[in-house]
Amino acid sequence: MTLYIALTKIWSTMDHDLSFDFVCRAGICGSCSMVVNGKPRLACKTLTSEFKDGKITLLPLPTFKHNRDLSIDTGNWMNDMSVKVESWIHSKEKTDITKIEKAVEPEVSDEVFELDRCIECGICLASCSTRIMHEDFVGAVGLNRSARFALDPHDDRTDDEFYELIGDDNGIFGCMSLMGCEDHCPKELPLQTKIAYMRRKMVKVK
């Protein structure tokens, strides 16, 4: 069984007061992240059979506001981060819905889609030493978001404009490349490659 099922059994048969977060049960919504035997993971994608000695210790994901038991509030943090890195298409072109959508090279579109697979589970932040030291660090999730828009030909922001948003220690220069984000990301996103991609761009900004 998955940890989700185990927790549901505990909740229904032993402790009706236990708080934990779930929505999709399929590794898509990102709400069931928690620390499992010392590692941040998605409970709905973790099988209890992995732990051969039968001992499983669960803790709430650190660095986010703790609600109760295993329940944390990632939503407000993600929302603030999205505003901070301006996580939306910036275009000077006026939208004309009568026109055919602008064509994008398939390789570029694949790259953008790959980064869009982030489920905002917060695991990269819980695995990140910079984030633990700097509360305002946007983390791999925020830098991945910047890379996603920098790669998207629909977004016409310049490198200088991205620099205004992430060109400091709470952004691209805060990352110490310890790889915790990429080691634990349940969607296996190429986080360090994309952080390096943005850093190369940002160091060129005068």
Does residue number 189 form part of the binding site for ligand SF4 (CB under 6 A)? Answer: yes
Could you give the string, one character per residue 20-39, with x where binding to ligand FES holds by CB under 6 A and - elsewhere?
A: --xxxx-xxxxxx-------
34 binds, among ligand SF4, ligand FES, none (CB under 5 to 8 A by kind): none
d(CA 77, CA 180): 19
Does residue number 6 form part of the binding site for ligand FES (CB under 6 A)? Answer: no
Does residue number 84 form part of the binding site for ligand SF4 (CB under 6 A)? Answer: no
Does residue number 141 form part of the binding site for ligand SF4 (CB under 6 A)? Answer: yes
Does residue number 42 form part of the binding site for ligand SF4 (CB under 6 A)? Answer: no
Instruction: Closer to ligand FES by CB, 11 or 22: give it.
Output: 22
Q: For residue 79, what are the contacts with CB-CB under 8 A and spacing of at least 6?
A: none
| List of E strands, the chain | 33-36, 39-42, 58-60, 65-68, 71-73
Q: Which of the residues 152 through 181 are near ligand SF4 (CB under 6 A)? A: none
Beta pairing, strands 33-36 & 39-42: antiparallel
d(CA 179, CA 68): 29
d(CA 138, CA 194): 14
Site residues for ligand SF4 per CB under 6 A: 118-124, 140-141, 144, 185-187, 189, 191
Sites of contact with ligand FES (CB under 6 A): 22-25, 27-32, 42, 44
